[in-house]
Structure 1
Amino acid sequence: MRQALNRIGLLLGLLFGVVLPAAAYDAPLLAIVIDDLGDNRARGMAAVNLPGAITYAVLPHTPHARELAIRAHQLGKEVILHAPMENKSGLRLGPGALTRGQSPAELQHVLNGNLDVIPYVVGMNNHMGSMLTEQRGKMDPIMQVVKQRNLFFLDSVTTSDTVAWKVAHEYGIPYLVRDVFLDNQRNQAYIHNQFKQALSLAVNRGHAVLIGHPYPETVAYLNKVIPILQQLGVRLVTASELLNQRSRTQLILAQPTLDPCDHAEGHCDSLPVAAKR
């Protein structure tokens, strides 16, 4: 085992500048989630055709949501709802938005409608949401629906003051938190550095959750690096598979650490904050 870890560490160092420490866990786990599927068919299909176990977050009531979800499922990929939630910047949310002005019953009605139109959904994460995810009173009815439907929840962490993952925990809902946004800047150098950061977290902590988007730059980069992961000994897993590994002691469940950023159209949704871990 130690020889294998040393070999992986050497390869990571050569290819990505990441150092793998001596550790007792098995292969590091990396979950890649691609957000914002549904509006653009060509970009969505290119993302769905990426190799490996990837999770796709689909926007509700968008022109190509159903087709892309079905295709992802046919390819053995994972589908979750990308639920639009109110942000602080006044950015357009699109159909199926969850907002402060809605009552608990209205929030649940809209969310159930969002879930009903996307086939094969096994979980959900928030699209934007820097405003809504800070409000416990709004997260309660949302998590009640998640619980009733036996889904998992991924907190995209678009604000340092999110309570979404905490409420999910209180309801006994399987949950994850985003570690790294891959492509807030759509250039290869930035994307590469973000990917290295995710790899570093994975090999040091045992796992990482990386969120990207169906941008051509992102898809081109992932098409190159995903096949290398197996050679490095890093295991690509879906979000639900990562949750299934939570009972392993090496998969430490930690609070989000990185600067929150509402990633729609690359806009940051709040000011940078210090790491919390």
Structure 2
Amino acid sequence: MLLFRRICSAVITLGVLASPSYADPVFTDNQPVMAIVIDDIGDNRKKGLAAINLPGAITYAFLPHTPHSYDLAEIAYKQGKEVILHAPMQNKAGLRLGPGALTEQLSRQEIQQVLHNSLDSIPHVVGMNNHMGSLLTENRQKMKEIMAVAKQRNIFFIDSVTTGRSVAWKVAHEHQIPYLVRDVFLDNKQNWNYIHNQFKQALSLAVTQGHAVVIGHPYPATVEYLSEALPILEQLGIRLVSASELLNIRSRTQLLMAQPKVEPCDRSEGHCQALPVAIKH
């Protein structure tokens, strides 16, 4: 209840709730929606299970060839949750990527074989997003090679936007791959106040632009916060949807997908920069 009051107070102050009857929303095709993706599932079974047990239509991104990715993906699927690949891509900081890494040094054939193997390692995959990738997602040729696999496998792509120069979503668009773009990183800092402020930003975006794409991680602080916040969304008139459902809404309503209005990177890569807002048609 305290969290509900704090969120309501903040949102009302921001002036983003257009209807005074936000506590009793009427769901329509024009209702604001939020898609939440939880990355980095597969390394830790306990943390992965805690994240999967969160309520609602959350999308889970699984690291390939990790100890628990297969079993956790099966559990998520049986709970009606959406499963996507969290594909490791080369970053500028030289951070370790782990198995399934996609790098500039790989040939076209190698890129596609590695990606196929990663997709095959996780059951029930319907999409993918990039893990790190501040270097590779700026490489148009490599992204073409990756999108060719996405096209072949009939999966969607979410650009995590770990660099302001990412061309990943552009190449997806050119290849007619259904795509989304991350708006908010929820937990670059693992403390309640930071996560709360990022969640409020996501609420504001959901209302003002009709949707928000949020990425978080299976951190205890994130799971604890979302376990309280997610049941509140309906009372705020915002519907939690899977990534694929947001894509379906987009196809029906021709929503414009905006690049992030906040930090365009994952702080795990060790660098952030300002990103001008741009609208993709």
Q: Which residue in 2 is equivalent to 1:91?
A: 95
1:55 aligns with 2:59: yes
Cα distance in 2 between the residues matched to 1:53 and 1:267? 28
Change (3 A) 1:227 1:179: same
Change (3 A) 1:275 1:255: closer
Structure-to-structure mapping, 1:170-209, within 5 angstroms: 170-209=174-213
- Residue 125 of structure 2 is aligned with which of 91, 102, 121? 121
Deviation at 1:233, TM superposition (A): 1.4
Q: Please tell me whether the aligned partners of residues 85 and 129 of structure 2 are also in contact (alpha carbons under 8 angstroms).
A: yes
Cα distance in 2 between the residues matched to 1:14 and 1:262? 28
- Residue 20 of structure 1 is aligned with which of 16, 37, 58? 16
Tell me the matched-pair count: 266
1:43 aligns with 2:47: yes
Q: Please tell me whether the aligned partners of residues 128 and 158 of structure 2 are also in contact (alpha carbons under 8 angstroms).
A: yes
1:33 aligns with 2:19: no
Query: Cα RMSD between the aligned structures?
Result: 1.9
Structure-to-structure mapping, 1:158-237, within 5 angstroms: 158-237=162-241
Identity over the aligned pairs, expressed in percent? Answer: 64
Letter of the 1:186 counterpart = Q
Letter of the 1:67 counterpart = D
1:149 aligns with 2:153: yes
SS at match of 1:247: helix
SS at match of 1:162: coil
Q: Please tell me whether the aligned partners of residues 82 and 126 of structure 1 are also in contact (alpha carbons under 8 angstroms).
A: yes
Letter of the 1:20 counterpart = V
1:104 aligns with 2:104: no
Letter of the 1:71 counterpart = I
Q: Please tell me whether the aligned partners of residues 37 and 215 of structure 2 are also in contact (alpha carbons under 8 angstroms).
A: yes
Cα distance in 1 between the residues matched to 2:275 and 2:33? 26
Structure 2 stretches lacking a partner, 5+ long: 20-27
Deviation at 1:250, TM superposition (A): 6.8
Letter of the 1:14 counterpart = S
Cα distance in 1 between the residues matched to 2:210 and 2:261? 16
Q: Which residue in 1 is equivalent to 2:24?
A: none
Deviation at 1:231, TM superposition (A): 1.4
Q: Which residue in 1 is equivalent to 2:68?
A: 64
Cα distance in 2 between the residues matched to 1:86 and 1:269? 14
Q: Please tell me whether the aligned partners of residues 91 and 136 of structure 2 are also in contact (alpha carbons under 8 angstroms).
A: yes
SS at match of 1:246: helix
1:78 aligns with 2:74: no
Change (3 A) 1:98 1:199: same
Cα distance in 2 between the residues matched to 1:103 and 1:28? 42
Q: Which residue in 1 is equivalent to 2:25?
A: none
Cα distance in 1 between the residues matched to 2:261 and 2:193? 22
The TM-score, its normalising length taken from structure 1, stands at 0.91
Cα distance in 2 between the residues matched to 1:169 and 1:114? 23
SS at match of 2:255: coil
Change (3 A) 1:152 1:245: same
Cα distance in 2 between the residues matched to 1:212 and 1:59? 14
216-225 or 266-275: bigger deviation = 266-275
SS at match of 2:130: strand
Cα distance in 2 between the residues matched to 1:166 and 1:195? 27
Cα distance in 2 between the residues matched to 1:12 and 1:214? 22
Q: Which residue in 1 is equivalent to 2:248?
A: 244
Structure 1 stretches lacking a partner, 5+ long: 1-9
Change (3 A) 1:11 1:256: closer
- Residue 131 of structure 1 is aligned with which of 125, 130, 135? 135
Deviations 1:160-191 (A, max 9, x none): 00000000000000000000000000000000
Cα distance in 2 between the residues matched to 1:21 and 1:226? 17
Letter of the 2:273 counterpart = L
